[in-house]
Amino acid sequence: MSAGNIGPVLVADAGSSSLRLTVFGDDGQVLAEDHSASAPGEDVSGPLRQLLAQTPSPAAVGHRIVHGGPALRSHVLVDDEVRAALGNAADLAPLHVPQALTVLDTARKVLPDVPHAACFDTVFHAGLPAAAREYAVPATWREEYGMRRYGFHGLSYAWALGRTAELLGQRPQQLHLVIAHLGGGCSACAVRNGTSVDTTMGFTPLEGLVMCHRSGSVDPGALAWLQTRHRLSADDIEDVLNHHSGLLGLSGTSDDTRDLVRSRAAGDERAALALDVFTHHCRRGIAAMAASLDRLDALVFTGEIGEDQPEVREEVCTRLTALGLTGGLRTPDDASRPAILSGPGAEIPIVVVPTGEAQQIDHETRTLLRSP
């Protein structure tokens, strides 16, 4: 396809508890959108058809797929073979991929005559060096089972990298960054010369930082102990770690940092503990990612918490002086645009970039369509 206009692109972003449908025009403007705060169910065709009635028919559909598994390591147009491979990877991200496949299957039925693109969060990390990619487990696990560190939030990182480069007046290939995606899921990534070289999430989106209702990393010996000593099943453990841990498990009341900041101010000790643990693990993850870089050109926050929670940003940065970071961050005047939060005398810029996963999917889908 030529490098000219493609026409509207529908982007489907199915999360663990939400569905965002957005139609973008050729110049990136939003032509129509529908955001649901409930997980995609069997009635996806209803909101999809309603949205399509409000906009010109899309020329293509781009789907966010969290995990591509070992077989799918680049963004790809979907055919039956690709769809089968997606099904094989579904259990690697059980909170996300099954829901995304429900939306994909429905969209292919509703729009059978347009190309559908699968855009993966794992692609940004496909070139991780072996030292960051491999677990210290036997070759059988790594080679036969495909057990390795994949990394996630790649679409968010790709968008944040591009916007940070524009903000700093440099090319992505010139930058050494730590990017922290803090939202319902949380991770950090080391970007060296525009390429991911380390990240905190691993085989599944459960590893790494403390998250809203996911635990992040837990001693694997403790999980074996829960099974052998307390007779918890693997399903029970997986359910607790994915749905009842993180900020929710620590506070006992909420997985929303806004609620917890208010509760802490009112004297709630469990809310204070939840925020302390959360920000401690953020600092630990950011420092670990910085260890994979030669220098730190900027620390970048993105994701819902990273964008909207100045208290979290401040608590993270104030106690990272060993990396040359400082607190006293300003709140941006326009929350919809990338901004430098640190003062003019700061040794290392601290940047916030509004989440742009949907825009990145639109970009990747159009790139696929323009490929020969």
Angle (CA) 45-75-158 rounded to 5° is 100
Q: How far apart are CA 91 and CA 97, in angstroms?
A: 8
How many CA atoms within 13 Å lie on the side-chain side of 354?
A: 9
* 121 a catalytic residue: yes
313-316 CB contacts, 8 Å cutoff, 24+ apart: 313/341, 313/350, 313/352, 315/275, 315/279, 316/180, 316/279, 316/282, 316/283, 316/286
CA dist., res. 98 & res. 39, Å (int): 11
CB 150 within 8 A of CB 269: no
**Catalytic one among 121, 198, 297, 362?**
121
| Token pair recorded at residue 326 | 């400082």
Catalytic site positions: 121
